[in-house]
Amino acid sequence: MDEQRTEIASLGEFGLIDHLTKNNETMQAGTLLSVGDDAAVIDQFGKQCVVSTDMLIEGIHFDLMYTPLKHLGYKAVAVNLSDICAMNATPTQILMSIGISNRFSLEAIDEFYEGVYAACRRYNVDLVGGDTSSSQKGFIVSITAIGEVSPNEYVTRSGAKKNDLICVSGDLGGAYVGLQLLEREKRIFLENPGVQPELNDKAYIVGRILKPEPRADIVNWLQEKGIKPTSMIDISDGLSSELLHICKQSGVGCVLYEDKIPMHTETREMAFEFQIDPTLCALSGGEDYELLFTIPQEEYEKIVLNEQVSVIGYITDASEGSHLLTRQGNKHPLKAQGWNAFEG
């Protein structure tokens, strides 16, 4: 029996929006008016508003051959909430616009929205508006995320000071090797369509690329402990390029210890299988969506209490440059080899 396929054209744009938002419930007290009018109305209750936007384009940012639509919906929301978290803020609302071609059925778009709503529920965020449009061939997703922060408690990339400690949440490199694995399995499948991918014992790294989680938990923990980072950024393009962003915008240098970079055992094993240096996966891989931040040294006693945070280096004077100290004790200049949207 064929699965049901409803053509999106049969609903029309407003019919589609009504269909996709019919079960949209608001959770935030600040969402006064949600989907269904010319604009949403949000009350910030004396907080400051943090806004970020991001676009995901099929064939550039995701491959639907190995990305389930539900995962794509979840990830599209998650990566945008990560930018809000990177400002030391709490995500509250999102707006989402999609461009779809007629190769997508209504059922396929429903699956995508299932993931969107799952992420909204998980992070207590309201979907308050957006737009739908037809696209000539690919699937395009654009999300604007809104968050709130107590007055002047937001954290930028430009506040790192000499002697600050460099900290990172979670572990790094997993998304990169997960992507290499999915790309390898795709190539095998294209050559031998009968071969099923072998991903059973690789759930962690595959999850890192297909279903990343923004570190709202780390932001909450820092607030609870009264720790305000001096600078912060989320890791979308690899540790080295993000750390260099902080150094450049703060006018400082840094020393990063290779042996302190946190990595999951599955990440290391997969990197060795691919004959790639695991450290390189962490430095240049990207898409981990962990938080990289700096704190004053006097906060060290508090920060070590959190097993999810690693201290990986310290900030120096700009004149000393930015270096990686290897396990062997050699010093190498830190290079930004992260992903560049306009290369290749």
Q: How confident is the model at residue 339 (pLDDT cuts 50, 70, 90)?
A: very low
Rounded Cα–Cα distance for residues 259 and 237 (Å): 20
What homologous superfamily does CATH list for 165-333?
PurM-like C-terminal domain (3.90.650.10)
Higher pLDDT, 339 or 311: 311
Rounded Cα–Cα distance for residues 294 and 128 (Å): 33
Higher pLDDT, 45 or 173: 173
Q: Kindly report, residue by residue over 153-212, the tens digit of the pLDDT.
A: 999 999 999 999 999 999 999 999 999 999 999 999 899 888 877 777 899 999 999 999
Relative to beta strand 90-100, strand 126-134 is parallel
Q: What confidence score (pLDDT) does residue 2 get?
A: 53
Q: Which CATH architecture has domain 8-149?
A: 2-Layer Sandwich (3.30)
Res 340 pLDDT > 60: no
The amino acid at residue 142 is: S
Rounded Cα–Cα distance for residues 301 and 56 (Å): 40
Q: Kindly report, residue by residue over 14-44, the tens digit of the pLDDT.
A: 788 788 878 778 888 888 887 777 777 888 8
Q: Kindly report, residue by residue over 202-235, the tens digit of the pLDDT.
A: 999 999 999 999 999 999 999 999 999 999 999 9
Res 338 pLDDT > 70: no
Tokens coding 313? 């280096």
Q: How confident is the model at residue 344 (pLDDT cuts 50, 70, 90)?
A: very low
Rounded Cα–Cα distance for residues 27 and 154 (Å): 23
Q: What confidence score (pLDDT) does residue 132 get?
A: 87
Q: How far is CA 104 from the centre of its chain?
A: 25
Q: What confidence score (pLDDT) does residue 10 get?
A: 84
Q: Kindly report, residue by residue over 246-304, the tens digit of the pLDDT.
A: 999 999 999 999 999 999 999 999 999 999 999 999 999 989 999 999 999 999 999 99
Q: How confident is the model at residue 74 (pLDDT cuts 50, 70, 90)?
A: very high
Where do the structural domains in the chain lie, given as residue ranges? 8-149, 165-333
Q: What is the pTM of this model?
A: 0.92
Res 343 pLDDT > 50: no
Q: Which of 1-10, 120-129, 257-266 has the lowest mean pLDDT?
A: 1-10
Rounded Cα–Cα distance for residues 110 and 19 (Å): 9
Using a 10 angstrom Cβ sphere, with 0-12 exposed, 13-18 middle and 19 or more buried, the burial of residue 161 is middle
As a three-state string, the secondary structure of the chain is CCCCCCEHHHCHHHHHHHHHHCCCCCCCCCEEECCCCCCCEECCCCCEEEEEEEEEEECCCECCCCCCHHHHHHHHHHHHHHHHHCCCCEEEEEEEEEEECCCCEHHHHHHHHHHHHHHHHHCCCEEEEEEEEECCCCCEEEEEEEEEECCCCCCCCCCCCCCCEEEEECCCCHHHHHHHHHHHHHHHHHHCCCCCCCCHHHHHHHHHHHCCCCCHHHHHHHHHCCCCCCEEEECCCCHHHHHHHHHHHHCEEEEEEHHHCCCCHHHHHHHHHCCCCHHHHHHHCCCCCCEEEEECHHHHHHHCCCCCEEEEEEEEEHHHCEEEECCCCCEEECCCCCCCCCCC
Taking residues 231-243, report their average pLDDT.
96
Q: How confident is the model at residue 8 (pLDDT cuts 50, 70, 90)?
A: confident
Please identify which residue in the block is written with the tokens 């009350």: 43
Q: How confident is the model at residue 341 (pLDDT cuts 50, 70, 90)?
A: very low
Torsion of CA 100, 95, 41, 221, to 10 degrees: 160
